[in-house]
Structure 1
Amino acid sequence: MQAINPSNTKPSALMPMLIIGMLFFIFGFVTWLNGALIPFLQIVCELTESQALLVAFSFYIAYVVMALPMSWVLDQTGYKKAMSLGLGLIALGCLLFIPASYSHEFSVFLIAQFIVGTGLTILQTASNPYIVKIGPQETAAVRISIMGLLNKFAGFLAPIVFTALVLGEFSQVNAQSIAALSEADKAIQISALADGLVKPYAAMAAVLLVLAVLLNFSSLPDLVLDKPNSEKEASKKLMAYPQLILGVFALFLYVGVEVIAGDTIGLFGSQLGLENATSLTSYTMAFMVLGYLLGLVIIPRFVDQAQALSRSAILGLILSLAIVFSDSQSTQVSAILWGWMGLGLLPDTITLIAILGFANALVWPAIWPLALDGLYSLTARGSALLIMGISGGAILPMVYGLLAEHFSSHSAYWMMLPCYGFILFYAIKGHKMRAWKRD
């Protein structure tokens, strides 16, 4: 992988770092808007839980459906132009929110989400190689960590900004309060809520379009990547690596539980009648930021990647059990954690869901190097396969929604136990496997 640089002088990494940092901030902001958007659209479009979680499904499924078409676009346009195109597609999806808001048509919202997810697919695929390339190889891990922190910090801000700009004077509105209204008052309230989406999404689209143009004319160098001799042959060879195949499944389960922790907390809070339920995802993201900062300190000084992964999985198991047995009327956990600072208290169940962000923080960065270890020339192909694991964010939240409707929102969190159980297996044994057992 080589950057095109016509001069012999080494360019400064500052400007590329700023540009890529901006893109990673956008990744986090747009992705974790879903946590606020799901409970909001449940009210506006009068949806069941599983229907509301189609918002996440339509977003994350784009990573799978559009991965190959977008890789073809990437080959045709080059990396810098592809990133500009990705920003343009996200802007198009944001613009589609305007007619969706006026019509209250949930299907239009889903199409808009799919377009936004498609834009992020090409944007992420195109921008990630720059993280390694814009500076020395030995400091690549530091740059990756900085990008991750920007991503998670944007995820922390997104629900807060959404709640402030979209809900505004309606911050106390939730599923409980809407259900108590008469049909006439409900229609008026829903219409007013939906109208609140128009200006913020129009502004976001305008900003993204400007950034797309600026990026296209920026000094960011393009990349030339070596192409594999045979995609078919590479795919066959990849199947022979258990650490990769099991890693893909572990990543699939991880993204699923990560999205459940970030996107269902608002739904649950809305059902409990909490104010500003659309901002609750920020608590999950705040704990993820704390986990990320801890990872920068302890890995590899005190624990290696496999140990970090196993401890994260164990904490996930403990928290999952605590969630299903927690009392939604009690606020003792938040009182202990932050009540002494004078911050508002939350029900124990909500607090424990948020703390899952801490358990999840180190899973993604730990699985990747363990899954790609020993692949050598197939590393790029293995990375592409791991990206497919993002589809867990589309499928597992839907499973949660169906379980919540058939049982309860509280008991549906039981499904996270086998997910963390497999991640623990991968941390202890799965990543060490170098061949499939044969009879």
Structure 2
Amino acid sequence: MQTVEPSNKPSALMPMLIIGMLFFIFGFVTWLNGALIPFLQIVCQLTESQALLVAFSFYIAYVVMALPMSWVLDKTGYKKAMSLGLGMIALGCLLFIPASYSQEFAIFLFAQFVMGTGLTILQTASNPYIVKVGPQETAAVRISIMGLLNKFAGFLAPMVFTALVLGEFAGVSAQSIAALTESEKALQISALADGLVMPYAYMTGALLLLAVLLNFSTLPDLVLEKPESESEESASLLAYPQLILGVFTLFLYVGVEVIAGDTIGLFGSQLGVENATSLTSYTMAFMVLGYLMGLVIIPKFVDQAQALSGSAILGLALSIWIVFSDPLSTHISSLLWGWMGIALLPDPVTLIAILGFANALVWPAIWPLALDGLYTLTARGSALLIMGISGGAILPMVYGLLSEHFDGQSAYWMMLPCYGFILFYALKGHKIRSWNRA
């Protein structure tokens, strides 16, 4: 059983509002990567696999820093740890200013790592908070609400980036830059890099202010009650198959989620789609639709495991369709939104965006299934799950290498085994409570 201080059981509304603000912030920061990757590919003159180091340096922080950040969480408590996380993200944003002036890719990567570290502690603290602040059976609904805010921020981030940073170069693409003379290319790249300075300066100030406000807010700290026996408290995390399998499932899920959100711009830029830096917004829009559906159907019509199964099956179907679709056709986007006057996209790009819908309910379903029964090991179990976010570092790099070796469209074959294991966890993996019965 879990409680939240103080002992008179205050409403979960205020904690959810505050945590919701945090989910919006790290959704905005995270999904800026979808715009940054094709942008920095142009500014720093990178190959596809080099450009995807932007995502790698961001998400690898979840591996390197997850356990140290769980130690910080244990020492400071959830509230102060989240304030510290906001401060670290602000530092990462600040580092973008010298990176922009110098156009040094290494500084951009270090700034991404610092921001990823700040998000690691925010994620480690906020996800179990939302799981444990209310009944277990409705945990996926609460996480879906948070995810809705997170992905709505992700929907806004690439469009805000394109509007504020690109400015008069809004139609820029890798193809258009390649067509310029060397002198024209150097001038345009310099102007593009300078466009990063003011937006990231404002983000730095806003994040520091929010860190101070959160530290002095009324957000109560999460308190987990002791388990019924000492053996449960002293047990190793490795003794919980539902957690270990959940970590690997989360690793694969975040990988395919980041591929859907961050490679769509690269692939669209290859096909000559204008404003490729904003294509992540399409993926996020479909994720928002998925989260809205989750709020309606969970747990009234389907439980968390069933939602996870359906998501995996849809992901498998879409991945196959992406590989075999015609990049010269725009029939799917014409059917879905062409009648609204929204710009049409090549069919495989549209299908990559629709993967956002398939991915929407995976994260909120995995967390409560994986943390079930961990008691006071919840913080460390959460840290282990957070390490699974490293899938966002590794799998997009695999995509980039496959894309360079084969082609961008064929590389999406790698999604099939990922969704296959997610389906296994939904059907069986989360039920396993002993490795002897696996």
Query: Is the TM value for this pair above 0.5?
Result: yes
Task: Measure, in 1, the Cα distance between the counterparts of 2:272 and 2:185.
Answer: 16
Q: Which moved more, 1:333-342 or 1:40-49?
A: 333-342
Task: State the AA in 2 paired with 1:262.
Answer: G
SS at 2:435 equivalent: coil
The corresponding residue for 1:287 is 286
SS at 2:45 equivalent: coil
Task: State the AA in 2 paired with 1:319.
Answer: L
The corresponding residue for 2:235 is 234
The corresponding residue for 1:72 is 71
SS at 2:244 equivalent: helix
The corresponding residue for 1:148 is 147
Task: Measure, in 2, the Cα distance between the counterparts of 1:112 and 1:199.
Answer: 16
The corresponding residue for 2:203 is 204
The corresponding residue for 1:93 is 92
Q: Displacement of 1:325 after TM fit? A: 1.1
Q: Displacement of 1:212 after TM fit? A: 1.2
Task: Measure, in 2, the Cα distance between the counterparts of 1:437 and 1:138.
Answer: 27
SS at 1:408 equivalent: coil
The corresponding residue for 2:126 is 127
Using a 3 Å threshold, how does the CA distance of structure 1 residues 86 and 220 change in structure 2: closer, same or farther? same
Using a 3 Å threshold, how does the CA distance of structure 1 residues 255 and 134 change in structure 2: closer, same or farther? closer
Q: Which moved more, 1:117-126 or 1:216-225?
A: 216-225
Deviation readout 1:70-94 (Å, 9 max, x if unpaired): 2222233333222221111111100
Task: State the AA in 2 paired with 1:112.
Answer: A
Using a 3 Å threshold, how does the CA distance of structure 1 residues 397 and 348 change in structure 2: closer, same or farther? same
Q: Does the aligned pair in 2 maintain the 1:98–1:201 contact within 8 Å? A: yes
Using a 3 Å threshold, how does the CA distance of structure 1 residues 283 and 391 change in structure 2: closer, same or farther? same
Q: Displacement of 1:107 after TM fit? A: 0.4
Q: Does the aligned pair in 1 maintain the 2:330–2:346 contact within 8 Å? A: yes
Q: Displacement of 1:422 after TM fit? A: 1.5
The corresponding residue for 1:423 is 422
Q: Does the aligned pair in 2 maintain the 1:80–1:215 contact within 8 Å? A: yes
Count residues in correspondence.
435
SS at 1:181 equivalent: coil
The corresponding residue for 1:162 is 161
Task: Measure, in 1, the Cα distance between the counterparts of 2:186 and 2:226.
Answer: 56
Task: State the AA in 2 paired with 1:253.
Answer: L
Deviation readout 1:157-177 (Å, 9 max, x if unpaired): 111111110011101111000
Task: Measure, in 2, the Cα distance between the counterparts of 1:438 and 1:9.
Answer: 41
Q: Displacement of 1:139 after TM fit? A: 6.5
Q: Displacement of 1:274 after TM fit? A: 1.3
Task: Measure, in 1, the Cα distance between the counterparts of 2:351 and 2:218.
Answer: 45
Q: Displacement of 1:267 after TM fit? A: 0.7
Task: Measure, in 2, the Cα distance between the counterparts of 1:138 and 1:300.
Answer: 7
For residues 386-397 of structure 1, the aligned pairs below 5 Å read 386-397=385-396
Which runs of 5 or more structure 1 residues have no equivalent in the other structure?
none
Task: Measure, in 1, the Cα distance between the counterparts of 2:223 and 2:413.
Answer: 46
Q: Does the aligned pair in 1 maintain the 2:42–2:174 contact within 8 Å? A: yes
Deviation readout 1:217-257 (Å, 9 max, x if unpaired): 2232334556897999532xx33443332222111111100
Aligned residues with identical type, % of pairs: 85
Q: Which moved more, 1:133-142 or 1:73-82?
A: 133-142
Task: Measure, in 1, the Cα distance between the counterparts of 2:78 and 2:126.
Answer: 7
Confirm or deny that 1:341 pairs with 2:340: yes
Q: Displacement of 1:198 after TM fit? A: 0.3
Deviation readout 1:10-69 (Å, 9 max, x if unpaired): 656554333222111101111111111111000000111111111111111111111122
For residues 343-382 of structure 1, the aligned pairs below 5 Å read 343-373=342-372, 375=374, 378-382=377-381
Q: Does the aligned pair in 1 maintain the 2:59–2:390 contact within 8 Å? A: yes
Task: Measure, in 1, the Cα distance between the counterparts of 2:430 and 2:16.
Answer: 32
Q: Does the aligned pair in 2 maintain the 1:40–1:278 contact within 8 Å? A: yes
The corresponding residue for 1:384 is 383
The corresponding residue for 1:312 is 311
Using a 3 Å threshold, how does the CA distance of structure 1 residues 26 and 244 change in structure 2: closer, same or farther? same
Q: Displacement of 1:350 after TM fit? A: 0.5
The corresponding residue for 2:115 is 116
Task: Measure, in 2, the Cα distance between the counterparts of 1:144 and 1:367.
Answer: 10
The corresponding residue for 1:274 is 273
Deviation readout 1:122-158 (Å, 9 max, x if unpaired): 1222333443566677866554332221111111111
SS at 1:330 equivalent: coil
Task: State the AA in 1 paired with 2:385.
Answer: L
Task: State the AA in 2 paired with 1:148.
Answer: G
TM-score normalised by the chain length of structure 2: 0.92
Task: Measure, in 1, the Cα distance between the counterparts of 2:145 and 2:242.
Answer: 27
The corresponding residue for 2:23 is 24
Task: Measure, in 1, the Cα distance between the counterparts of 2:402 and 2:202.
Answer: 37
Using a 3 Å threshold, how does the CA distance of structure 1 residues 230 and 58 change in structure 2: closer, same or farther? farther
Task: State the AA in 2 paired with 1:65.
Answer: V
Using a 3 Å threshold, how does the CA distance of structure 1 residues 377 and 194 change in structure 2: closer, same or farther? closer
Q: Does the aligned pair in 2 maintain the 1:91–1:116 contact within 8 Å? A: yes
Q: Which moved more, 1:105-114 or 1:311-320?
A: 311-320
Task: Measure, in 2, the Cα distance between the counterparts of 1:367 and 1:272.
Answer: 35
Q: Does the aligned pair in 1 maintain the 2:43–2:189 contact within 8 Å? A: yes
Task: State the AA in 1 paired with 2:59.
Answer: Y
Q: Displacement of 1:387 after TM fit? A: 2.1
Task: Measure, in 2, the Cα distance between the counterparts of 1:357 and 1:190.
Answer: 31
Task: State the AA in 2 paired with 1:24.
Answer: F
Using a 3 Å threshold, how does the CA distance of structure 1 residues 80 and 424 change in structure 2: closer, same or farther? closer
Q: Displacement of 1:214 after TM fit? A: 1.6
Q: Does the aligned pair in 2 maintain the 1:234–1:381 contact within 8 Å? A: no
Q: Does the aligned pair in 2 maintain the 1:84–1:213 contact within 8 Å? A: yes
TM-score normalised by the chain length of structure 1: 0.92
Which runs of 5 or more structure 2 residues have no equivalent in the other structure?
none
The corresponding residue for 1:255 is 254
Q: Does the aligned pair in 1 maintain the 2:246–2:385 contact within 8 Å? A: yes
Task: Measure, in 2, the Cα distance between the counterparts of 1:136 and 1:307.
Answer: 18
